Amino acid sequence: MEFNALDIRYQEFKRGLRGYAVEEVRAYLGQLADFVSELVEEKQRLEQQVAELEQSLQQHRQNEEELKRAVVAAERIARDVKQQAQREAELIVKEAQGLKEQTLREAVEHVKRVQRDLDVLRRERDLFKEQFRALLEGYLKSLENGSA
């Protein structure tokens, strides 16, 4: 059986020979009704608070799930970005190595060309020296023959 403040406040009792003092009973029932009324209000307030807290908890759980999904997605994106960056770095290193090897080959080829040009110039110098010496010796003989 449920009680409410109005039922308690207006409850009627049968009178007997040696009954209770009606005013005391009414005062007590009034105090009891006030107390029950406060308890009912407190219960309603607490039920409302529980409902709000449950709703808040549900919202926090949803937020937590969304955060977990966001963290997983961020980790996946970070891993993908890292892998992509690593692939790009490897590609840059390979390109740099290829460029280094090409530059080295070109430098070696250039050194070989300069060496060949230097050899040609040395041979031409030696040839010039021989021809100049022969020319000078020819003039010298000619001077010796002409002055004798």
Q: What is the pLDDT of residue 1?
A: 55
Least confident of 11-20, 43-52, 71-80: 11-20
Mean pLDDT of 120-126: 96
- Reported as type and span, the H/E element at residue 55 is helix 22-147
- Count of Cβ atoms closer than 10 Å to residue 32 Cβ: 15
State pTM to two decimals. 0.47
Reply yes or no on whether the pLDDT at 147 is more than 70: no
- Say what percent of the chain tops pLDDT 70: 95
**37 in Cβ contact with 8 (< 8 Å):** no
**35 in Cβ contact with 64 (< 8 Å):** no
Q: How many angstroms separate the CA atoms of 91 and 88, rounded?
A: 5
